Chain A
Amino acid sequence: MTTTHPPGGRTRAPDHAGDSPVTDGQASARPPTDRRSLLTRWAADLLMGARFAFAGGREGWIRAVLTAVGVGLGAALLLAAASVPEVMAARDARGAERSASNYGPQVEAGPDTVRVGQANTDFRDRPVTGLLVRPDGDGRPPVPPGLEKLPATGEMAVSPALRDLLESPGSELLRERLDHRITAVIGDEGLTGPQELMYYAGAEESDFATGYSYHLDAFGNQGAADDPMPPELLLLVIIICVVLLLPVMIFMGTAVRFGGERRDRRLAALRLVGADGRMVRRIAAGEAMAGALLGLAVGGGLFLLLRSSAESLVMFNMSVFAADLRPAPALAALIVVAVPVAAVAVTLLVLRGVVIEPLGVVRSAVPRRRRLWWRLVLPALGLLLLLPLAGGFASTTDAAATFQVAAGTVFVLIGCAGLLPWLVESVVHRMSGGPVPWQLAVRRLQLSSGTAARAVSGITVAVAGAVALQMLFSATQAENTEATGHDTSRAQMQVYADAEDAGAARELTDRLGAAEGVTGTIGYIQASATSQETGTAGSGEAGGYDAAQWTSIQVADCASLRELIAIGSRCADGDVFVTRPAGDDAPSALPGPAESQSWVRPGTTVDLRWDEEGMVAEDPVRWTVPDSAREVDSREDPLGGRQEGIFLTPSVLDTDMLQEPSAVAQIRVDPRNPDAPEHVRNAAAAVSPLVNVFTLHGSAENSLFTTIKRGLFIGATATLVLIGASMILSTLEQLRERRRLLSVLVAFGTRRSTMAWSVLGQTALPVALGLILAAVGGLGLGAVLLALVDLPLSVDWASLALLTGAGAAVVLGVTALSMPPLWRMMRPEGLRTE
């Protein structure tokens, strides 16, 4: 039976606004013509898009959370980076405010001054900043920031971190050294960071007897001027910022595209029910914006979380006050605006390549092969910006040049990321055959390699940047690191102190020699002597002193003397030695060329005293080098220097005759006793906290360079963590999008291992190509950057291998972590999910 209704035989049912179409004749009214204003329509579309960002139940929320966490991680890192200027400014300001250095004219002691001595020490590789203080009079001596008054004799004001350390078990050796009574805690305004170990100790007059001290009428930097940053270091800072932040931004661009395929299908469905092209773009923009805004909120939350826990973190001996960790307002505003705008821009850019048609999604870009020429534009532009500065950046202070370098570097690095999809496509296009997993991987990449390439583009940029940075670093390091010449096999520590008299100096060397864990000491008392004949006022070339008329006297036992001069076994108490002139290039412990001290010969009479201005004293103390003195060659001491002049064994001279003697001890410690250095420091501090103790190192770096390197390590750690986290999110998202396909494959019997290898192949191939590109791009960029600062080209291949290895390790780790969810998604039941 056929139901027929003659065409035109019925009339159209009347409209009934708001009626329910439950029965015939009560058909629903047609919707009203859209009379909304343009603004209202835009707002409605954006809102609808925002709704889509979270719609879809659990699936929708998972996608939204993935996007939000991805964008949030990036935003948090950007906010942290935007806080660096504030952190550094606040840190520097507080450091300057409390500075006990006086770069201006020397301050004389007075009723309103304080005598200070730097009493810095170390405790198990952590630096402890200390200052001995003693008011010079009864007036109003200056008080450093963070204190209400100066600690009295025997008292100590400490930073909270030092207080905690002193109270904690295991710090007995430090308590022994800092044995003052704690009467105050230094306030935040007097500290550079919350975890800084610092103290002010009230000293007795006698504490200043050994060591250097001076007077202050105010705390805070006086007369100090900051040196401008050297160009190569400035360049390093710029590149570090670019290299660390670019992958973050690339990842944020990837995160806002999470769920892209599903979104495209949804937009197609919307087109079917009447949304026009502009509407779907607005809806997509609303969706991207909502995800980005949620991401910003998550990022803000993560940043606050980081901020609240920042005070307990110590990275590379740096800690930060939570109050200092605040983004620069302009940068924060830029982030808040730029993140959603960039998210919308990225989404709309992607939609340009995807025509959302009512019947589905047409990827307009698919049939065409990727073209190379426009991908070369960015790196070429970058090189065009960089190359004109070759050799000239070192001499420029122009801010425009700084921006030019930053822009050039950004272009080259982004160019690397842009080249990757072309490279992956070109390579996989030529591939075929192989086992099933490989075939699945290759075919998948041939079909759509963009997603895979995008996923690794962040790491490509990071590795390329790191390779360039590493080259710049290794070249700059040579300029900023000096070989100290220290021979750490002969001694690991040196103690030096200006002693009140030879007795005090001897006490110090004796104490050090007896300290626990000390296996050997090269100890000697050092003083100066001057020529009896010519060391008088007005006799020198400049109307003062002739440097040639000074020499030094070292008093030590034979064992120690053997470490300073080449005397072999021929030494006994009572012997005297003088050094023969050494070559010009031999380092000398005294200023001036080595010949300048060659005036001392057996039989020469020297003067052991001089007045405050360095002139021959009115009551000279003369001593004649015995004729029996042997002339010997000096040898390098463990610090790499050569001591010149007169060398005496203890019984030759009454050391009390020496003026302003110093005690020097180069100490060898038992490597099996990790606390040996602490015992040495305690032995030194027992004589005076002002005794200078330092550890010998093979090399020493420029402190600014060290700070930059430290910043790079902190930033690189954060970026690597972010990249790892982001890649996990990105891989999970890709797996989610392909869940149905995975289920289909499993449903007709594909082995899990086959799929796992195929997933690995899909990841590994773009990663391998990305790392090759990163290595080549990084080496090229590094070479150009070195040319900018006129440094020779050098490549540390081991570091290059390490960097690319680290990149590969991150990716492989991420792949391994994505296996469990892959197993879960490879259930045939997944077929039902859509």
Chain B
Amino acid sequence: MTPPTTPPTAPAAGREPIPSATEAAASGALLSAEALHKTYGATPALDGASFAIHPGEIVAVMGPSGSGKSTLLHCLAGIVQPDAGTVRYQGRELSALSDAERSALRRGEFGFVFQFGQLVPELTCTENVALPLRLTGMGRKEAESRALAWMDRLEVADVGPKRPGQISGGQGQRVAVARALVTHPRVVFADEPTGALDSLNGERVMQLLTEAARSTDAAVVLVTHEARVAAYSDREVVVRDGVARDMAGVR
């Protein structure tokens, strides 16, 4: 697959009415959210946001700073419990799951890539990538062998024995992508995965992330405020004032 080298074309004027995220989502969504509300103290982060994503789909969640896009991602991933509304994964309501069950989902079904800080600084890069497999009980050798294969694919096999503090930001993000994908997740959550990188490194990380996700048929929820990054997605959802709008029709 050839990555886009230029941002996608901006939506044309005189657009059609913007559909809601759920309307845009076809039936049989892998992961969906309905009317999510979340307030931090007196500040509302989500105010009735809805969202859906299908297997293998890459959806960019965009919006200005403080619009609630990261909160939406955290709710979708079961990291944060919404105050109201439902999140369903394969028909199961996340809020009904116990902490252990949600943790099991994160271990096996979900993968995460954040802007920074998600790698365990004490472990080597290989060990970091192998960690989700080790948590499921896989033997060290096998887990690290799989980890190395993913790192090779993401072009960071050479930093395997190094620790996160000893590698560059771009390499660190690729290691994080490898870790997110090593369990062959059904959904990858990526929150500003290129936010701390220069454009060249950002492009390469996105290229590798989307390529790898597509090859494993993983859905990707991609939170970003950069149009260049959003260009890698199949569909865009814009969050503003805590409400999500699907931009598929516009695009």
Contact = CB atoms under 8 A, between A and B. Distances in A.
A1 B55 contact: no
A22 B152 contact: yes
Contact of B136 (A2, A25, A27, A32): A32
B118 interface: yes
Contact of B132 (A6, A31, A56, A277): A31
A24 B122 contact: no
Contacts of A56: 121-123, 163
Interface in A1-35: 1-13, 15, 18-25, 27-35
B25 to A, nearest CB: 8
B250 interface: no
A279 B179 CA distance: 19
A357 interface: yes
A487 to B, nearest CB: 71
B104 interface: yes
B8 A34 contact: no
Contacts of A31: 107-108, 132-133, 136, 138, 183-184
Contact of B217 (A10, A28, A279): A10
Interface string A459-478: 00000000000000000000
Contacts of A271: 103, 106
B137 A22 contact: no
Nearest to A277: B99
Contact of B149 (A15, A22, A24): A22
Given A22-B153, A31-B183, A56-B122, A276 B137 contact: no
A367 to B, nearest CB: 11
B95 to A, nearest CB: 16
Given A20-B146, A22-B153, A28-B182, A34 B216 contact: no
A270 interface: yes
A76 B162 CA distance: 36
A444 to B, nearest CB: 23
Interface string A744-762: 0000000000000000000
Contacts of B93: none
Given A1-B4, A359-B79, A272 B112 contact: yes
A12 B181 CA distance: 14
A273 B102 CA distance: 11
Nearest to B182: A28
Contacts of B165: 833-834
Interface string B1-39: 111111011000000000000000010100000000000
- Size class of the contact patch on chain B: 35 or more
A52 interface: yes
A655 to B, nearest CB: 90
Interface stretch (A40-48, A623-631, A797-805): A40-48
Contacts of B9: 2
A25 B215 contact: yes
A60 B53 CA distance: 41
A44 B181 contact: no
Nearest to B57: A7
A359 B106 contact: no
B223 interface: no
A1 B8 contact: yes
A57 interface: yes
A279 B5 CA distance: 44
A8 B74 CA distance: 24
B83 interface: no
Contacts of A277: 99-100, 103
Contacts of B105: 274
Given A3-B232, A60-B122, A266-B122, A48 B216 contact: no
B216 A275 contact: no
A27 B150 CA distance: 9
Nearest to A5: B234
Contact of A274 (B132, B150, B234): B132
B56 interface: yes
Interface string B222-251: 000000000110110000000000000001
B9 to A, nearest CB: 8
B100 A3 contact: no
A269 B79 CA distance: 12
A278 interface: yes
A369 interface: no
A270 B131 contact: yes
A36 interface: yes
B88 interface: no
Nearest to A276: B103
A135 interface: no
Nearest to A275: B135
Contacts of B96: none
A28 B216 contact: yes
Given A41-B137, A273-B135, A276-B104, A24 B234 contact: no
Interface string B106-125: 11101010000111111100
A60 B145 CA distance: 25
Interface in B44-88: 53-58, 74, 79-80
A777 interface: no
Contact of A32 (B123, B138, B153): B138
Contacts of B131: 270, 273
B212 interface: yes
A55 B57 contact: no
A7 to B, nearest CB: 4
A52 B8 CA distance: 45
Given A8-B56, A11-B217, A21-B149, A275 B138 contact: no
Nearest to B142: A18
B79 A13 contact: no
B186 to A, nearest CB: 8
A139 B62 CA distance: 109
Contacts of A18: 142, 145-146
Given A18-B142, A28-B146, A13 B217 contact: yes
A272 B118 contact: yes
Interface string A245-268: 000000000000000001001100
A743 B133 CA distance: 36
B175 to A, nearest CB: 13
Contact of B100 (A28, A273, A278): A278
A831 B123 CA distance: 20
A356 to B, nearest CB: 11
B135 A279 contact: yes
Nearest to B134: A48
Contact of A28 (B28, B104, B119, B184): B184
Nearest to A48: B134
A269 B164 CA distance: 13
Contacts of B80: 359
B8 A15 contact: no
A274 B120 contact: no
B210 interface: yes
Contacts of A766: none
A273 B108 CA distance: 9
A277 B102 CA distance: 11
Nearest to A24: B215
Contacts of B112: 272-273
Interface in B190-241: 210, 212, 214-217, 231-232, 234-235
Nearest to B121: A56
30 contacts: A1-B6, A3-B4, A3-B210, A4-B234, A5-B56, A7-B53, A7-B55, A10-B56, A10-B214, A13-B215, A18-B146, A20-B152, A21-B212, A24-B214, A30-B108, A30-B183, A31-B107, A31-B136, A32-B138, A33-B136, A35-B137, A44-B137, A52-B122, A56-B122, A271-B106, A273-B106, A274-B107, A274-B136, A276-B104, A277-B99
Given A52-B122, A274-B103, 16 more contacts: A1-B4, A2-B9, A5-B214, A7-B26, A8-B56, A11-B217, A13-B217, A18-B142, A21-B150, A23-B215, A28-B184, A28-B216, A32-B136, A36-B137, A274-B108, A276-B99
- List the 10 closest A-B pairs by CB distance, nearest first: A274-B107, A20-B149, A276-B103, A56-B122, A55-B122, A7-B54, A24-B215, A27-B216, A274-B106, A12-B217
